[in-house]
Amino acid sequence: MSTAPKTPRPAQPASPIQRVGMLGVGIMGRAMAANLVKAGFVVSGYDPDPKAMKRLKAAGGTPCASAGDMASTVDVIICALPSPEALHGAAQQIAERGHRKLLVVETSTLDIADKTTARDALHAKGIVMLDCPLSGTGAQAVHKDLTVYASGPKAAIKKLAPVFAGFSKNCFDLGAFGNGMKMKLMANLLVAIHNVSTAEALLLGQRWGIQPKDAVKVLSDGAGGSRMLQVRGPLMQGQGWNTPTMKVGIWQKDMKLIAAALAEAQVPAPLFAATVPVYNAAMALGHAEHDTAAVFDVLSRMSS
């Protein structure tokens, strides 16, 4: 007697953590939530944008009414927030409603002082928060092509390993809280430069009749290749920057953090300084909601 094939169940995470909350379901948060669902976690989330909540539900997550509501029902909260104000407001709600075993993973690119303030507010309630920025774009997040720069209590980082594996390709334990953000700013310093250098090279090729997509394929295989060439290069043709993986407007926040860190450490940074007016020009040309690949358009207009 034949039987109908059984529908395979989602893989269950090999972790005592089963319920994950996503605080902030924008470009990055939505992709991370979707991958966590695929990894077998029970995912819920909150974002003030109703459209983001609909996308979360479509990805298999459960929308919550607030950060506080979510804090009372999950084992870990992953924060992907746009501003210090958003973090402080969320920390207050989590402190009021969260339980003592709750872990908070702060992945946003924010000033270390702001993260420390939020950490201390949660610590007063017995809740552990880690500083875990991510290296990678929204497009990379879709394919789990992210690296976690984890910093904070070693035991908590170890416990969260299955969760990190659910949405990233790698995780580095960088030690004390705040080291994650330091590494993130170093990474973004390189991103700022590599993105503009990619635009310069591809614009040169275009003027010679070499299409950006062809140049990306060839250059990526040689000594001049970079992740920004691979990730952002394809968006520099046919106004691909209209589909953002990192918006120019949000990137301005990162640029200010990098500039402040360089000034505090008294590090000369002529290459980074040269990119600042290019990104400012992108804002002036109306690219705030576009991908940072729009620097290609800036250079193109500067030379036309």
Rounded-to-integer distance, Cα 178 and Cα 131, Å: 6
What proportion of the chain, given as a percentage, has pLDDT over 70?
A: 95
- The pLDDT of residue 15 is 61
- One-letter identity of residue 200: E
Q: Is the pLDDT of residue 253 over 60?
A: yes
The reported pLDDT for the residue numbered 2 is 43
Q: Classify residue 3: in a domain, yes or no.
A: no
Q: Is the model's pLDDT at 209 over the cut of 60?
A: yes
Residue 54 lies in a domain: yes
Please determine, for residue 281, whether its predicted confidence score (pLDDT) is greater than 70. yes
Domain harbouring 65, CATH code: 3.40.50.720
**Judgement on whether residues 131 and 234 belong to the same structural domain of the protein:** no
Q: Are residues 185 and 293 in the same domain?
A: yes
Boundary residue ending a domain (176, 207, 238): 176
Q: What percent of the chain has pLDDT over 90?
A: 92
DSSP annotation of 242 reads G
Q: What is the pLDDT of residue 135?
A: 95
Q: What is the pLDDT of residue 16?
A: 80
- Report yes or no on 7 lying in a domain: no
pLDDT at 9 over 50: no
Rounded alpha-carbon distances, angstroms, from residue 59 to 235, 243, 284: 25, 20, 35
- Domain boundary (145, 176, 207) is at 176
Same domain, 282 and 195: yes
**Residue range 241-249: average pLDDT?**
95
Q: Are residues 153 and 195 in the same domain?
A: no
Q: Report pLDDT for 237.
A: 94
Q: What is the pLDDT of residue 14?
A: 53
**190 and 165 inside one domain:** no
- Asked if residue 231 lies in contact with residue 223, where contact means CB atoms within 8 angstroms, the answer is no
**1 pLDDT above the threshold of 50:** no
pLDDT digits (tens, 9 = 90+) for 97-152: 998 899 999 999 999 999 999 999 999 999 999 999 999 998 899 999 999 999 99
| Domain's final residue, options 118, 145, 176 | 176
Our count of domains for the chain comes to 2
Q: What is the pLDDT of residue 303?
A: 87
Same-domain pairing of 124 and 240: no
Domain that holds residue 295: 181-302
* Whole-angstrom distance, CA of residue 161 vs CA of residue 87: 23
pLDDT value for 100: 86
Average pLDDT of the segment spanning 92-96: 95
- Same domain membership, residue 251 and residue 204: yes
Report how far residue 110's alpha carbon sits from residue 256's, in angstroms, rounded to the nearest whole number. 10
Residue 8 lies in a domain: no
What pLDDT digit, counting tens, does each position of 17-48 carry? 899 999 999 999 999 999 999 999 999 999 99
What CATH number corresponds to the domain at position 281? 1.10.1040.10
Judgement on whether residues 277 and 154 belong to the same structural domain of the protein:
no
Whether 145 and 240 map to the same domain: the answer is no
Is residue 61 very low, low, confident or very high in pLDDT (cuts 50, 70, 90)? Answer: very high
Mean pLDDT of 59-67: 95
Look at residue 14 and tell me if it is in a domain: no
Name the more confident of 279 and 3. 279
- The token pair at 50 is 């109703």
